[in-house]
Structure 1
Amino acid sequence: MDRFFTHSATTHGITVRVAVSFLPDRSRADSARWFWSYHIRIENHSDSAVQLLTRHWVITDGRGGVHQVDGEGVVGEQPVILPGKSHDYVSGCPLTTPTGRMEGVYRMMRDDDELIAVEIPRFPLVAPAVAD
């Protein structure tokens, strides 16, 4: 596995890898705003093309507050990923606490019209000042 991607999960032959970065230049502790970017790589190791239709995120802040996000595709796209290929995108997440976590599910359609749920692995959001 690429060392850049520190979290991964495989479901139905689809591997989702995540790399997360804290963005100090977009964060302001005095305003209770912390911001992370995350890079997702979706790899198709199955024998079937898949199209990413929807996403479901569960975002939990450091106080245990849960925010759920549902939407079509990712960053405005509903990519088709052929066998042996991958799709990358980058997005971001603000929190009002310096720690939290994200996890979720992609809903995908295989080329045989089967709908599948693909796990997005849980990954921590930790601002460096509170990492210890």
Structure 2
Amino acid sequence: MTSARLVCSVQTRFLPEQSDPAQSRYAYAYTVSIENRGTLAAQLIARHWQIEEGGEPTQEVHGLGVVGQQPLLGPGESHEYTSWVQIGHPQGRMKGRFLFVSVEAEPFEVEVPAFELAFANMLH
């Protein structure tokens, strides 16, 4: 069992300049913060996102790293990045997980809690 303990949080915002509601295109930026609260360094290797639109699963995204990087996080270090997604419904949701490898070469996954993609005025 690894001694790397990583915690993820996400902030989102609507991107009106990348959206076109008349064409059912809604864009959202999301900023992910990852903090290593453990005692060992760990490197982010890959990501997996599940995207829902209007309550229905629509996309899965797999890939190496995040925005072209595979950051190494030492104890007490954090990494933040911003990406974006475009969906065909005004409301959506994303959740996912990151694959990390500890300095002991032990792979492990870190869950990213589900987060909402919605206009601020649409949230109840």
* Counterpart for residue 67 of structure 1: 59
Aligned residues: 121
Aligned sequence identity (%): 36
1:45 to 37, 50, 53: 37
Structure 2 unaligned regions, length at least 5: none
Give per-residue Cα distances to partners, 1:73-117, cap 9 Å, x unaligned. 000011101100001100001000000100001000001111010
Instruction: Tell me the TM-score normalized by structure 2.
Output: 0.92
CA contact (8 A) 1:34 1:97 kept: yes
The Cα of 1:129 is off from its aligned counterpart by 4.9
Measured in 1, the distance between the counterparts of 2:27 and 2:34 equals 23
Alpha-carbon RMSD across the aligned residues, in angstroms, is: 1.2
Measured in 1, the distance between the counterparts of 2:80 and 2:63 equals 18
The Cα of 1:25 is off from its aligned counterpart by 1.9
CA contact (8 A) 2:14 2:118 kept: yes
Measured in 1, the distance between the counterparts of 2:55 and 2:22 equals 17
Residue 22 (structure 2) pairs with residue 30 (structure 1): yes
Structure 1 unaligned regions, length at least 5: 1-11
The Cα of 1:66 is off from its aligned counterpart by 2.3
* Counterpart for residue 3 of structure 1: none
CA contact (8 A) 1:63 1:97 kept: no
Aligned positions of 1:1-12 closer than 5 A: none
Residue 2 (structure 2) pairs with residue 16 (structure 1): no
Paired residue secondary structure (1:74)? coil
Residue 116 (structure 2) pairs with residue 124 (structure 1): yes
The Cα of 1:19 is off from its aligned counterpart by 0.5
